[in-house]
Amino acid sequence: MAAAAWSSKPSFSQPKAAPPGRPVALDSLDRWELFCQKGELVQRDGGSAMILDGLALARDLQAENLSLEAEILAEEDCYPGLVFRAAGANDFELAYAAPHLGGKRDAVQYDPVFLGSNTWQIFCGPAYQATAALSKQKWFAFRVDVSGSGLSVQVGDQRPVRLGPLAHEKRSGRVGLWSYKPAFFRNLRMGDPRPLSPTGPKPKLPAGLIREWGMKGYGALFCEPNGVLNLNRYLLPAKVPARLVRRFEAERPTEITLRFGFSDELTLALDQEILFTGTNRFQGLANEAERGWIQPGAQQVRRKISPGRHEITAALQVTEPFGWGMTMELQGKFIRLLPATSH
Measured in whole angstroms, the distance separating CA 267 from the mean position of its chain's CA atoms is 23
Single residue among 156, 191, 226 that ends a domain in this structure: 191
Q: How far apart are CA 267 and CA 290, in angstroms?
A: 20
Evaluate if residue 2 carries a pLDDT over 90: no
For residue 227, tell me if it sits in a domain. Answer: yes
Res 15: pLDDT: 42
Give the tens place of pLDDT for each residue, 141-155. Answer: 999 999 999 999 999
pLDDT digits (tens, 9 = 90+) for 207-233: 899 999 999 888 899 999 999 999 999
pLDDT (0 to 100) of residue 17: 56
| pLDDT for the residue numbered 124 | 94
CA-CA distances (angstroms) from residue 132 to 106, 195, 264, 280?
9, 21, 28, 27
Q: Is 15 within the bounds of a domain?
A: no
Angle at 105 between CA 8 and CA 179, to 5 degrees: 135
User: Under 8 Å CB-to-CB from 289, ≥6 apart: which residues?
Assistant: none
Residues 108 and 237 in one domain: no
Query: Are residue 178 and residue 251 in the same domain, yes or no?
Result: no
pLDDT at residue 13 is higher than 50: no
Amino acid of residue 55: L
Say if residue 158 is in the same domain as residue 218: no
79 and 139 fall within a common domain: yes
**Is there a single domain that holds both residue 27 and residue 171?**
yes
Residue 155 confidence (pLDDT): 98
**CA distance between the termini of the chain:** 32
Residue 57 lies in a domain: yes
Average pLDDT rounded to a whole number, residues 263-273: 97
Res 254 pLDDT > 50: yes
DSSP output for 26-69: -S-GGGEEEEEEEEEEEEETTEEEEEEEEEEEEEEEEESSEEEE
Instruction: Please check whether residues 54 and 114 belong to one and the same domain.
Output: yes
- This model's pTM is above 0.85: yes
> How high is the mean pLDDT of the chain?
92
CA angle 145, 147, 151 (to 5 degrees): 50
Asked which of 38-47, 91-100, 170-179, 190-199 is least confident by mean pLDDT, the reply is 190-199
Q: Is residue 203 part of a domain?
A: no
Confidence of residue 343 (pLDDT cuts 50, 70, 90): low
Is there a domain that residue 161 lies in?
yes
Residues 169 and 306 in one domain: no
Strand, coil or helix: 314:
strand
Query: What is the residue range of 283's domain?
Result: 212-337
| Domains contained in the chain, number | 2
pLDDT tens for each residue of 295-318: 999 999 999 999 999 999 999 999
Question: pLDDT over 70 for what percent of the chain?
Answer: 93
Residue 274 sits in a domain of what CATH number?
2.60.120
pLDDT at 123: 97
- 231-235: list long-range contacts, CB under 8 Å, 24+ apart: 231/316, 231/318, 231/324, 231/325, 231/326, 232/114, 232/115, 232/117, 232/119, 232/122, 232/323, 232/324, 232/325, 233/114, 233/115, 233/167, 235/115, 235/324
Count other C-beta atoms under 10 Å from residue 156's C-beta: 17
Q: Does residue 96 share a domain with residue 36?
A: yes
- Residue 196 maps to a domain: no
| Percent of the chain's residues with pLDDT above 90 | 85
Residue 153's DSSP bridge partners are: 144, 161
Strand partners, 203: none
In 3D space, the residue among 81, 222, 229 whose CA is nearest the CA of residue 163 turns out to be 81
Note the pLDDT of residue 201.
66
Q: Please report the pLDDT score of residue 4 as a whole number.
A: 34
Both 173 and 223 in one domain: the answer is no
CA 294/CA 273 separation, integer angstroms: 24
Asked if residue 128 and residue 40 are part of one domain, the reply reads yes
Evaluate whether residue 205 is within a structural domain: no
Reported as a pLDDT band with limits 50, 70 and 90, residue 24 is very high
Give the whole-angstrom CA distance, residue 199 versus residue 3: 22
Q: What is the pLDDT of residue 147?
A: 95
The CATH number of residue 100's host domain is 2.60.120.560
Please tell me whether residues 140 and 98 are part of one structural domain: yes
Q: From CA 325, how far away is CA 124, in angstroms rounded?
A: 13
**How do residues 41-95 score in pLDDT, each as one tens digit?**
999 999 999 999 999 999 999 999 999 999 999 999 999 999 999 999 999 999 9
Q: Are 177 and 73 in contact (CB under 8 A)?
A: no
197 part of a folded domain: no
303-329: b (≥16 Cβ within 10 Å) or e: eebeeeebebbbbbbbeebbbbbbbbb
Judge if 128 and 49 occupy the same domain.
yes
Distance of CA 302 to the CA centre of its chain: 30
Confidence bin at 18 (pLDDT 50/70/90): low
